[in-house]
Structure formats: C-alpha cells, structure tokens
Amino acid sequence: MNRDLKTHVNQTRFAAVARIKPRRILVIEDKADIADAMRMALTLSGHVVDVAFDGETGIRKAFATRPDVILSDIGLPGASDGLAVAETLRASGLFESTYLMAITGSNHPDDVKRALSAGFDLHMSKPVDIRLLLRLIAERLAEDEA
C-alpha cells in the first residue's frame, strides 16, 4: 500500500470553494456511495444537505424543506425519475428560483435537451468533478445574492 497517497479530505480546500452563505441542498441519488460523496463535499463546504434515494421521496423532501439547490440523478427507481422530479417541482410554482441540476450517466445531446426541457437549469455527466460542482453551485448562488 502506498502510504504517500492522501486519503483524507482537505476541509480548507472545500471551504474556499464556497464563498457564499450556507444553503439548503437536496441530493436525489439512488447510488449510496455517490450520494454520500456529494453530501460530504457539500457539508464540508458549509451547506445543510439532505438526501433522497428515489424520485418520490425527493419530491416529498423538496416540498418539506424547500431547498435552494436540488441535485438529481435522472435514472431513479420508482414511478418518478429525475425528469418527473423536475417537471413536478417546476409545475408547482414553488421552485421557480431553486437551482435544479441534473446529474446523470448520459451526456447524449438528446438527454441534455430532455433534462433542460423538464426544468433543470444545468446537466452534468457522471462521474461528477466535485470541485466543479461546488464552483457551479457557488457561482449560481452568488448570482442570486447579487
């Protein structure tokens, strides 16, 4: 085993990325390891993070907590995939200013178009670069504060 390999998270690096006030973020992701990695990075950046593992639970949690940002996988188990999540939330009128980010394994142009048409503000392909994700969230929320 290579003992020089750094396996700890540098909290200072994550804190420096988010130069905005802490926000409420909902991660909707059926893969526990991906959801946990996003939760950890976002929490270390000072945000309050909740996780749902399917679309129906994600929709319920969104209405209950009214997050500032929702990161949702497209391919979710159950009756509501990520597209249905975005459509449901946008149709309610309560999430017009919520930043919705689709995070999915596909980056085919048709998939991107469907995600944006469903109401997502941005489409990101997996594997997600956590630093890029944090920067995009920080930039968008900083715009909202301006």
Per-residue model confidence as pLDDT tens digits over 90-115: 999 999 999 999 999 888 889 999 99
Within-domain flag for 49: yes
Instruction: Please give the DSSP secondary-structure letter assigned to residue 128.
Output: P
Within-domain flag for 61: yes
Name the residue range of residue 120's domain: 21-145
Contact 38, 64 (CB under 8 A): no
- For 27, phi then psi, to 5°, come to -105, 125
Angle, CA 50 vertex, CA 65 and CA 92 arms, to 5°: 40
Q: With cut-offs at 50, 70 and 90, classify the pLDDT of residue 19.
A: low
Within-domain flag for 5: no
Q: How many domains does the chain have?
A: 1
Its pTM surpasses 0.75: yes
Within-domain flag for 7: no
Within-domain flag for 114: yes
Within-domain flag for 14: no
Q: With cut-offs at 50, 70 and 90, classify the pLDDT of residue 146.
A: low
Catalogue the E-assigned strands of 39-116. 48-52, 69-73, 99-104
